[in-house]
């Protein structure tokens, strides 16, 4: 297992837990943290004992954005040549489900990182925003694209142009988060949720994730056809036989992730 400085990596049963851990900077996403999150998540994705990944921060901040102090002095030539933030794209190639548990600030890159996960469970204290415009920049880790797909054009424009925050209630109404729980229960609920996902057949969970994600990349007719083909291929798994046999025999399934 790799050593990390800006995150904590833990395993509970079949769930891998990545906790952002730069408390003095409200988990601002500097380049080291970016490298470490990507490495940890890829390590968990490759680990046969892991079925789902939980990404979280602290009670005060999931993450307050890209690290402004690190970014401020950079020139155009530098950010362009290094393709600043492009490494975050690697999270969208992760095959296992990733749940984000968000408490407190999820601003700028913090909101974008949460949206790179498969879904977001928010505490009642969560605040989401894309305040980049107040710094003279625009979102750079997919915010203008993923926020628009999540909440629609009106709210995405409002957020990206005014830089205002959304509280948890508004985020849930708008479809940015799947549910809201009291802050004190966030971690337990998110872990229980990830544990439930990890108890399902891993290949089938990966197929379900892939099918939902396909809806953002294709037409409805092609997406429905893709889904049906993948549905057919679940019948090649031992877990489909087990899942349906368990239902008929009125017992809990024992998936072998095969
Ligand atoms: N980058 C670097 N440092 C940050 C930071 C960030 N994004 N957010 C907070 N910090 C640091 C503060 O500088 C401060 O450090 P010092 O104690 O050394 O001064 C520490 O974290 C605590 O922050 P505050 O004192 O500001 O805490 P607060 O409770 O008063 O305010 C806050 C909290 C409203 C979140 C405020 O910190 C804030 O506005 N942060 C910046 C939010 C932001 O603009 N995010 C977007 C960044 S740009 C981006 O993300 C680009 C992109 O799309 C990729």
Burial label for 178, CB within 10 Å (0-12, 13-18, 19+), is middle
The tally of domains found in the chain comes to 2
Hey, whose CA ends up nearest to atom 35 of ligand 1? 64
Quick check: is 149 in a domain?
yes
CA-to-CA dists, residue 83 to 46, 117, 140, angstroms: 26, 21, 10
Q: What is the CATH number of the domain that holds 155?
A: 3.90.226.10
- The reported pLDDT for the residue numbered 1 is 62
Quick check: is 258 in a domain?
no
| 8 A C-beta contact, residue 168 and residue 180 | yes
Please check the confidence at residue 146 and state whether its pLDDT lies above 70.
Answer: yes
The structure tokens 């980049």 sit at 132
Print burial letters for 200-231: b (CB count within 10 Å at least 16), e (below 16): bbbbbbbbbbebeebeeeeeeeebeebbeebe
Q: Ligand 1 pocket test: pick from 24, 25, 103 the residue with the most ligand atoms within 8 Å of its Cβ.
A: 25
Instruction: Give me ligand 1 centre to Cα 35, in Å.
Output: 20
Please check the confidence at residue 149 and state whether its pLDDT lies above 80.
Answer: yes
Quick check: is 52 in a domain?
yes
Provide the pLDDT confidence category of residue 166 given band limits of 50, 70 and 90: very high
| Domain carrying residue 105 | 7-199
Please check the confidence at residue 37 and state whether its pLDDT lies above 80.
Answer: yes
Express each pLDDT in 71-128 by its tens digit: 999 999 999 999 999 999 999 999 999 999 999 999 999 999 999 999 999 999 999 9
Do 188 and 213 lie in one domain? The reply is no
Quick check: is 42 in a domain?
yes
Sign of the CA dihedral running 127, 133, 137, 141: positive
Do 65 and 107 lie in one domain? The reply is yes
Do 111 and 78 lie in one domain? The reply is yes
Indicate the average pLDDT of the chain.
98
Quick check: is 90 in a domain?
yes
Do 144 and 235 lie in one domain? The reply is no
Express each pLDDT in 181-230 by its tens digit: 999 999 999 999 999 999 999 999 999 999 999 999 999 999 999 999 99
- The reported pLDDT for the residue numbered 3 is 87
Quick check: is 2 in a domain?
no
What stretch of H or E contains 56? strand 52-56
| 8 A C-beta contact, residue 162 and residue 105 | no
Do 98 and 214 lie in one domain? The reply is no
Do 96 and 157 lie in one domain? The reply is yes
Do 98 and 62 lie in one domain? The reply is yes
Do 179 and 228 lie in one domain? The reply is no
Quick check: is 1 in a domain?
no
**Which residues form ligand 1's pocket by a CB distance below 6 Å?**
25-26, 28, 64-69, 85, 105, 107-109, 112, 131-132, 135, 139-141, 143
Do 149 and 160 lie in one domain? The reply is yes
What stretch of H or E contains 243? helix 238-248
Percent of the chain surpassing pLDDT 90:
99
Instruction: Give me ligand 1 centre to Cα 65, in Å.
Output: 7
């Amino acid at each position: 297992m790799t050593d990390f400085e800006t995150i904590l990596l833990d395993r509970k049963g079949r769930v891998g837990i990545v906790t952002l851990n730069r408390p003095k900077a409200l988990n601002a996403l500097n380049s080291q943290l970016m490298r470490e999150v990507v490495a940890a998540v890829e390590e968990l994705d490759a680990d046969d004992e892991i079925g789902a990944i939980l990404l979280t921060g602290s009670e005060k901040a999931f993450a307050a954005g890209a690290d402004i102090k690190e970014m401020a002095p950079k020139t155009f030539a530098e950010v362009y040549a290094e393709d600043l933030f492009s490494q975050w794209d690697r999270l969208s190639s992760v095959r296992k489900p990733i749940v984000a548990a968000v408490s407190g600030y999820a601003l700028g890159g913090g909101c974008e990182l949460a949206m790179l996960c498969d879904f977001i469970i928010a505490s009642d204290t969560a605040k989401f925003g894309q305040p980049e415009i107040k710094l003279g920049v625009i979102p750079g880790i997919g915010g203008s694209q993923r926020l628009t797909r999540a909440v629609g054009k009106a709210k995405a424009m409002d957020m990206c142009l005014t830089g205002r925050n959304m509280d948890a209630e508004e985020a849930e109404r708008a479809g940015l988060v799947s549910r809201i729980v009291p802050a004190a229960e966030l971690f337990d609920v998110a872990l229980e949720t990830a544990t439930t996902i990890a108890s399902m057949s891993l290949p089938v969970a990966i197929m379900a994730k892939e099918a939902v994600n396909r809806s953002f990349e294709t037409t409805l007719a092609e997406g429905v056809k893709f889904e049906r083909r993948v549905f057919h291929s679940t019948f090649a798994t031992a877990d489909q036989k087990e899942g349906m046999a368990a239902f008929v025999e009125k017992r809990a399934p024992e998936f072998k992730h095969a």
